[in-house]
A = this chain, B = another copy of it.
């Protein structure tokens, strides 16, 4: 019987939609088929395990014999483990339940925030196994000392993960800025004041590296870990600037230079105040954290969103009005985006989720007033500010699940 592997699309099992560098199509050979079938076994066990070999075979439409060969290879590589015989009361030889390994490869996620650094390690089961965080302003600091501190955190997390039998399969770094399609170079991070910085030169060379915009990683986290996230959505995120990520059919839309999703500079009032980008009346001038603080008569603080959320919760009318106006401005910008992209939903994530209760009503009103037909639903991420860091770590894990053969060769 011939194995009937399916073609896959970006974001579906069998292909990494996001992993570092340009995507390589798996060649359509016996070897390529084996690789794709290894991925299908991994995804089946990950999604529905523990499963017996027979159950895996039934789910992915291969013979029991073919699946056994694939499973043996994955066990040898340490990607799958046997939990021992299951359901011994049943007729026939008892199947041994399979699960993805809680040891073996781990994804290392890291985040450079304007006011913090964070690193975590996630195993193949999706469990966060180690974590480190350092608060402190990074704004205006040059990349070298910041990345040196990040590296120290990374090595700390890696050491902790290795103590639990894990090994780093790759490092993914979320940054608040535009990243080139080489997945290494921060072209522009205005809130850090970094320009054309190749992080590959500054980070430990031993880990395969992917650098991406925090909104992109946040969107991937939402797609993979969110509850009922659609496969076509716009993810809006904010940390001083306003970033967005466009997910189409379960994959990120990156744009020619990798800059897609620049919602913050969509004109909201074409004759409005000047923006650092050279334009006027950009969304950031109305809904960026600093603009909202200014409108509320507050001074910037290290924890800007926390300050706004706290004041709004306390009933501060100036802050509530400022957030309401920011919601309206977001509604105008999102009307344009929804008209252009026709997504299945908009998710507010990242730091923005902290003030969502006071943004959402005016945002939804504005969107409803301006769009004909059914209104695009706007929801708030349940991952909140953790999204980008989790998305980074899980992107490495996904790359392993999507091509276990590549990792097995390195194990």
- Chain A residues with a Cβ under 8 A of chain B: 2, 4-7, 25-30, 33, 188, 230, 232, 244, 246, 248, 253-263, 265-270, 277-280, 332-333, 335-337, 339-344, 369-373
Contacts and interface: CB of A to CB of B under 8 A. Distances in A.
Contacts of A342: 254-262
A268 B266 contact: no
A343 to B, nearest CB: 6
A288 to B, nearest CB: 14
A54 to B, nearest CB: 23
A340 B263 contact: yes
Given A28-B4, A28-B28, A280 B343 contact: no
Number of this chain's copies in the complex:
2
A340 B339 contact: no
A265 B4 contact: no
Nearest to A260: B342
A230 B7 CA distance: 26
Contacts of A269: 269-270
A260 B257 CA distance: 22
Contacts of A7: 7, 25-28
A333 B333 CA distance: 10
Contacts of A26: 7
Given A248-B248, A260-B340, A260-B341, A369 B278 contact: yes
A280 to B, nearest CB: 7
The 4 closest A-B pairs by CB, nearest first: A255-B342, A279-B370, A262-B339, A266-B336
A339 B263 contact: yes
A202 to B, nearest CB: 23
A340 B25 CA distance: 27
A142 to B, nearest CB: 21
B370 A340 contact: no
By CB atoms of chain B within 10 A, which of A2, A269, A342, A371 has the most?
A342
